[in-house]
Structures are given as structure tokens and as C-alpha cells.
């Protein structure tokens, strides 16, 4: 069991060193980091835009309700 866990852990560490080692030649680490940051940035931009559109839609529904049912004095 311990040998299996050690083998899996070593493969994870080797993969991490392969893609995230800052001393690696050919800029592989920089390319990997740039791709990860880009994907994370796109995700947060998408979520921000989704929330912004939801706020706009909510405000439009509220305004439409106010127009459709004016207050009676």
C-alpha cells in the first residue's frame, strides 16, 4: 500500500516538476502558467459578466413592474 501511494506521489511530483519548474528550458513552465492564468481569468470574467447581466435584468424587471402597477394614492 505504501509503495503504491509513494509511486503515485512520485508521478505527481514529476509531472509538477515537468510543467512548473521555473528553470525548465524552452519556457514550458511559463507557457503552462500563462495558460492556467488565462483560463482562470476567463472564468472570472465570465462569472463577472454573468452577474452584471443578471443585475441589469433584475433592474429591468423591477422597472417593468413599477410601470405596470403604478401606486394608487
Please state the domain extents for the chain: 1-68
At residue 71, the pLDDT reads: 60
Question: Exposure pattern of 24-41 as b/e (b: 16+ CB <10 Å)?
Answer: eeeeebeeeeeeeeeeee
**Entry pTM:** 0.49
Q: What are phi and psi of 51, to 5 degrees?
A: -65, -40
The per-residue pLDDT string of the chain (73 residues; one tens digit each, 9 = 90 and over) reads 888 989 999 998 888 777 776 665 667 777 888 899 999 999 999 999 999 999 999 999 998 888 877 665 5
Amino acid at each position: 500500500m505504501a509503495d503504491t501511494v509513494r509511486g503515485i506521489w512520485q508521478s505527481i511530483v514529476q509531472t509538477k516538476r515537468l510543467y512548473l519548474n521555473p528553470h525548465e528550458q524552452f519556457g514550458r513552465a511559463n507557457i503552462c502558467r500563462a495558460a492556467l492564468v488565462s483560463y482562470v481569468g476567463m472564468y472570472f470574467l465570465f462569472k463577472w459578466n454573468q452577474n452584471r447581466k443578471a443585475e441589469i435584468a433584475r433592474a429591468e424587471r423591477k422597472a417593468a413592474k413599477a410601470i405596470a402597477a403604478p401606486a394608487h394614492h
